Amino acid sequence: MASPVRVSRWSIGALGVLALALGTLQSVVEPALPQLQRELGVSPAEGALIGNTLLITGAVVAPVAGKLGDRYGGKRVLIRLMAVVSAGGLLAALAPNLPVLLLGQVLQGVMVGALPLSFILVRKHLAAGASRLAIGLVMALFTGGGMVGTLIAGPLAEGLSWHWMFALPTSVVVATTVAVAHLMPSDPPVRSEHRIDWPGVVLLSGTLLVFMLGLVRVTGAGLPPLGAGAVAVAVAALATGWVAVERRAASPMVDLRMLAKPAMWHACVLTLILTAGFGMVTFLLPQLFALPAEGYGFGLGTTDIGLLLLPGAVAGAVSDSVGGVTARRFGLRTVLVVGALVTAATTIALAALHTAAWQLVLAKVLIAIAAGLGNTALLTRAATAVETEDTGIATGLLVVTRVIGIALGVQVGGAILDSGADPATGLPTESAFAAGFAVAGLIAALSLLVIRFTKKGTQA
């Protein structure tokens, strides 16, 4: 491992600011989604696709980026991914219609790979104790970017145009990438006698891509039973092929023995459930804020929605930064149980209490704290439970699980609103929102069962 003295505070600072800029670019869509739906003339389910297109790419790229970073060096791969992100941000900023915007989101989605690559650099250049703090810092700044994106989306979209929501963060990504390239020491690649397991890369990427696209189609536009069955068969076939290849590969992309460790598969399952419920709430709240005030909505614009979502973004950033420390102090199991209880109680209460803005703001804060603590605690535990050379792929798998969970929650939320739309107005009914919040609560309650059955693996 590289000596800790090789990396300066400026290097870690540049890495953190890059994470902040990426979080901002990723989050500007959330408060502006109702405005984008109006200006582009799309339904809630189609609007959910705007954010999920980025997540689809992220789901494919994250584990691949982590593996390539482990092999060729985190800095080298990170700089190249940021060039793709910058191109995607520029394309979204210039997009004249929905298809071009979606293409820009596809390219921006490779930003998800920046997290495991950042963790590789942190693990290689810092001592164990300092690396835990740095991982929390990077996660907190990425989440803090959500706070910044939530705050600036409205003024930019309403004062200038929604195109500027993408243009401004993209310019910061370009500048901070240049800073990281100059300040961060290059981490030496891990030398191996074996080549990259490209068949494993292709099969895992194909599995994730088919799964995510199938998820969007099934919960969005809808698929007949035969189509849904075909998607399930394709995912199962690709996943089976991937497992077979990994078992025979001399240097597999993912060491299945690592994935079989309780610390890894417990973390993956719990992360998926926690983020699915969080994703539903993240999607439903802006939609409710934007509905006309004559009924049960609030009739708010993008700026006002951003301001109301801001406390939740702040709470998420703070909880992300202390998730690992909290789990070490009170125990991972305690953090997860308390978080699940808070999320379940809050979302179920929202099904009945959603007539005042403060109720929604408080709910977002509580859920963001619970999700931030739980997710970062699981990520930190997984990152430190594997060998240093496996940090990238291990954290990449956790990041992709987080991405899939959020995408699942967002698409399910969009599907519930579409299915509960008023035929006369085309707007979601109040009962559709109540059903969405109730489903999010049931998902959170499900995590309690998972924690119970994985008791031995969550005692640490």
**Three-state helix/strand/coil letters over the chain:** CCCHHHCCHHHHHHHHHHHHHHHHHHHCHHHHHHHHHHHHCCCHHHHHHHHHHHHHHHHHHHHHHHHHHHHHCHHHHHHHHHHHHHHHHHHHHCCCCHHHHHHHHHHHHHHHHHHHHHHHHHHHHCCHHHHHHHHHHHHHHHHHHHHHHHHHHHHHHHHCCCHHHHHHHHHHHHHHHHHHHHHCCCCCCCCCCCCCCHHHHHHHHHHHHHHHHHHHHHHCCCCCHHHHHHHHHHHHHHHHHHHHHHHHCCCCCCCHHHHCCHHHHHHHHHHHHHHHHHHHHHHHHHHHHHCCCCCCCCCCCHHHHHHHHHHHHHHHHHHHHHHHHHHHHHCHHHHHHHHHHHHHHHHHHHCCCCCCHHHHHHHHHHHHHHHHHHHHHHHHHHHHHCCHHHHHHHHHHHHHHHHHHHHHHHHHHHHHHHHCECCCCCCECHHHHHHHHHHHHHHHHHHHHHHHHCCHHHCC
Rounded to two decimals, the pTM is 0.67
- Residues 336, 414, single domain; the answer is yes
Per-residue model confidence (pLDDT) at position 3: 44
pLDDT at 1: 41
Q: Are residues 212 and 356 in the same domain?
A: no
- Number of domains the chain is built from: 2
Domain final residue pick, 254, 276, 293:
254
Identify the pLDDT of residue 6: 56
**Banded model confidence at residue 458, pLDDT cuts 50, 70, 90:** very low
Do 166 and 207 have their domain in common?
no
Lowest mean pLDDT among 8-12, 151-155, 341-345: 8-12
Determine, yes or no, domain membership for 119. Answer: yes
Q: Are residues 22 and 127 in the same domain?
A: yes
For all residues of the chain together, what is the average pLDDT? Answer: 77
Same domain, 294 and 414: yes
Is it the case that residue 347 has pLDDT exceeding 60? yes
> Is residue 193 domain-resident?
no
Domain assignment of residue 394, yes or no:
yes
Model pLDDT for residues 289-333, shown as the tens digit of each residue: 888 877 778 888 878 888 888 888 788 777 766 666 676 677 777
Pair 293, 327 in one domain:
yes
Which range of residues forms the domain containing residue 320?
Answer: 4-182+262-458
* CATH number, domain containing residue 354: 1.20.1250.20
